[in-house]
Amino acid sequence: MIINIPLFSPPLLVAAALIALGFIAYVLSARVGVALIGAGSLIMGLVAINDLPAGFEAQGLALFGISAVVGGWMMYVAVKNG
């Protein structure tokens, strides 16, 4: 079985850019950096879940579902009590 990873998918490029900007912004503001990294992680997880190949639904949902949940949690932590 060949698993195709869409490296030039616009949503995945946006997710990678948000994560990179989050690492850079973390130096100036931890809250903004964590929010950006969380947004990128959330987008990446949801896009990966949406493009799962047949036969890998359970494993992919567990693996990328964790990424999506942690990304959402990071964004929640960053904006609460802000």
Instruction: Tell me the average pLDDT of the chain.
Output: 89
Helix (H) or strand (E) holding 33, with range, is helix 30-50
pLDDT classification of 81: cutoffs 50, 70, 90:
confident
Average pLDDT over residues 41-63: 88
Least Cα distance to 37 among 80, 79, 82, 75 occurs for 75
55: left (phi over 0), alpha (psi -120 to 50) or beta: left
Structure pTM?
0.85
Give the pLDDT confidence score for residue 52 in this predicted structure: 82
3-state secondary structure of 27: coil
CA 31-34-36 angle, to 5 degrees, is 105
pLDDT given at position 71: 96
pLDDT (tens digit per residue) in 10-26: 898 899 999 999 999 99
